[in-house]
């Protein structure tokens, strides 16, 4: 028996993987695997989750997935998993900060956070967290060596993948199958339906940032209802898709910050990237 934590972090394809595995639950069951897509509140009661899984009977391989599993304290995570009788693994995805920081900011704009501050303010907050992650009580962490140490301290063996939009799902399936010791063919799995509405798999275009910030301000003031905001955001996401199809090249807003973010990535994750590119597969 083996336990696999699909542990995040945010903005590394977690929702797409969760939807893929959830929609193929029957196929997984036939292989002796059980996939559980954790909800945010369940992270606070992970011991109860494990008790529920034990009551069903341990499968050959149990996969628990949430993008914030890597943010749990090692003591808390180890306590919750202490009753599991098999080996523990974790699979993580690393993504360059030039991609992950802007993606998280755009997610904050369209998500329940309803961020209305500028990207500059967001960067100051996020860099502070990643510079001293041991002091960060809230928010996301993208200092990958630190996250790895957290999971190792919780008794997990950690495997890393590097984010690649085109191949990530196949790589995650293959890595999960390898760690769990179960043959699983990605090409035989039911494919994902295209995302719609305000799905986390959709992102705003950089040109929509001023509109989204103003919309969030008005919603927080009560001038716009949450339902109206959601409808407007869905329209903005549709518009973002059309802009990307018509544009020749990448989003200019993303390109504006790439150089500075690469410098921060070197400062925060440079040793990690070098180790990852020189280590054995």
Nearest to 165 by CA among 17, 27, 35: 17
Which residues have a Cβ under 8 Å from the Cβ of 20 and sit 6 or more positions away? Answer: 169, 173, 189, 191, 192
Tokens of 242: 């059309």
The verdict on residue 223 lying in a domain is no
CATH number of 9's domain: 3.40.50.11230
How high is the pLDDT of residue 280? 55
Query: Which is more confident, 81 or 250?
Result: 81
Distance, in Å, from the CA atom of 281 to the CA atom of 276, rounded to the nearest integer, reads 9
Question: How many structural domains does the chain have?
Answer: 1
What SS3 class is residue 90? strand
The verdict on residue 68 lying in a domain is yes
pTM, two decimals, is 0.94
- pLDDT, one tens digit per residue, over 85-123 is 999 999 999 999 999 999 999 999 999 999 999 999 999
Tokens of 62: 């149990």
Range of the domain at 185: 2-96+133-192+269-278
Nearest to 99 by CA among 40, 162, 170: 162
The verdict on residue 64 lying in a domain is yes
Distance, in Å, from the CA atom of 112 to the CA atom of 138, rounded to the nearest integer, reads 15
Q: How confident is the model at residue 152 (pLDDT cuts 50, 70, 90)?
A: very high
The verdict on residue 21 lying in a domain is yes
Average pLDDT rounded to a whole number, residues 176-197: 93
The verdict on residue 148 lying in a domain is yes
User: Radius of gyration (Cα) for the chain, nearest Å?
Assistant: 19
- pLDDT, one tens digit per residue, over 229-245 is 999 999 999 999 999 99
The verdict on residue 122 lying in a domain is no
**Average pLDDT along the chain:** 95
The verdict on residue 229 lying in a domain is no
The verdict on residue 257 lying in a domain is no
The 33-37 sheet, strands edge to edge: 33-37, 61-65, 2-6, 87-94, 157-162
Q: How confident is the model at residue 279 (pLDDT cuts 50, 70, 90)?
A: low
């Amino acid at each position: 028996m083996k336990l696999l934590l699909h542990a995040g972090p945010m903005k590394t394809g977690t929702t797409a993987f969760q939807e893929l595995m959830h929609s193929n639950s029957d196929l997984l069951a036939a292989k002796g695997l059980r996939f559980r897509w954790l909800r945010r509140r369940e992270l606070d009661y992970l011991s109860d989750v494990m008790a529920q899984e034990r009551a069903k009977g341990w499968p050959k391989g149990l996969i628990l997935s949430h993008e914030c599993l890597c943010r749990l304290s090692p003591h808390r995570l180890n306590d919750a998993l202490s009753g599991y009788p098999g080996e523990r693994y974790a699979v993580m995805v690393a993504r360059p900060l030039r991609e992950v920081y802007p993606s998280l900011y755009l997610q904050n704009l369209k998500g329940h956070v309803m961020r209305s501050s500028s990207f500059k303010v967001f960067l100051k907050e996020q860099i502070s967290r990643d510079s001293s992650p041991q002091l960060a009580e809230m928010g996301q962490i993208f200092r990958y060596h630190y996250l790895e140490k957290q999971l190792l301290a919780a008794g997990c063996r950690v495997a890393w993948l590097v984010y690649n939009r085109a191949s990530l799902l196949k790589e995650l399936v293959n890595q999960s199958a390898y760690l769990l010791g179960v043959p699983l063919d990605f090409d035989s799995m039911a494919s994902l339906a295209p995302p719609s509405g305000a799905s986390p798999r959709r992102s705003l275009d950089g040109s929509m940032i001023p509109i989204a910030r103003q919309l969030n301000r008005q919603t927080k003031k009560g001038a716009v209802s949450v339902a109206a905001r959601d409808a407007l955001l869905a329209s903005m996401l549709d518009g973002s898709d059309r802009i990307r199809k018509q544009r020749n090249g990448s989003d200019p807003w993303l390109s504006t910050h790439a150089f500075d973010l690469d410098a921060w990535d070197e400062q925060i994750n440079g040793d990690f990237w070098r180790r990852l590119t020189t280590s054995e597969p």
